[in-house]
Structure 1
Amino acid sequence: MDLSIEVYKATQIFPKNELYGLTAQMRSCAVSISSNIAEGAGRASKADFSRFIRMARGSAYELQTQILIAKKLGYIDETDADILLQKLQEILKMLTGLQNALK
């Protein structure tokens, strides 16, 4: 959930015309990562949990792309983008490990 908070903070300074565009997409992806993990953990089977972990990974990769777009557009500075991307890489490693453990 920490990543979600960081993304919300980072997107507060985005242009107002992005409120329903990139801002909303980045926030949605960030929240989706932890939400899918939580929902999957509450499922009855490993197969269901694994499916939700795959969805969380998909959202993480989507967010990664959106951070890079925001950086190229100048909405987020390079340092902040790099911090978010590093946190995202750590999350992806954990999700991959969990996915492998569920096989």
Structure 2
Amino acid sequence: MRLYSFEKLNVWKDSIELVKSVYEVTKEFPSDEKFGLISQLRRCSVSIASNLAEGTSRQTNKDKAHFTTMAFSSSMELLNQIIISKELNFLDENEYVILRTKIEKITNMLNALRKSQING
């Protein structure tokens, strides 16, 4: 089976691991958050990987960088929602630190990818 270019990106692989972590921790959120924070957290975590995948299909480096920027924006949205979840005591300190550390790693990788795309 052929791998597409996005599947070779370490940042995409890490973003998939982040999605799995987000899905795991949100299983423990209050059920009345199903259409609130749970949905928001899950959708924006998936958006990081999705934007990376979509960006690799673009022809110009400018277009590719745009989707990398969108992935970065989704990362910031996710971080904000994780902070809110911690403030509401839906996440304990350990879960919060683990997720925040993963986001920090991904955003650093996204910044490096975007620079390489712009300087292409």
- The residue matched to 1:58 in structure 2 has which SS? helix
Which ranges of 4 or more aligned residues in structure 1 deviate by more than 3 Å? none
Please identify the structure whose Cα radius of gyration is greater: 2
User: Share of identical aligned residues, percent?
Assistant: 41
TM-score by length of 2: 0.84
TM-score by length of 1: 0.98
- The residue matched to 1:102 in structure 2 has which SS? helix
Query: Aligned pair count?
Result: 103
Residue 34 of structure 2 corresponds to residue 6 of structure 1: no
Q: Residue 34 of structure 1 corresponds to which residue in structure 2?
A: 49
Q: Residue 16 of structure 1 corresponds to which residue in structure 2?
A: 31
Provide structure 1 residue ranges, at least 5 long, that are not aligned to the other structure. none
Task: Map 1:27-66 to 2 at 5 A.
Answer: 27-66=42-81
Letter in 2 for 1:48: D
RMSD over aligned CA atoms reads 0.6
Provide structure 2 residue ranges, at least 5 long, that are not aligned to the other structure. 1-15
Post-superposition Cα deviations, 1:23-58, rounded to whole Å, max 9, x if no partner, equal 000000100001000100111111111110010000
Partners of 2:116 and 2:95 in 1: CA distance: 32
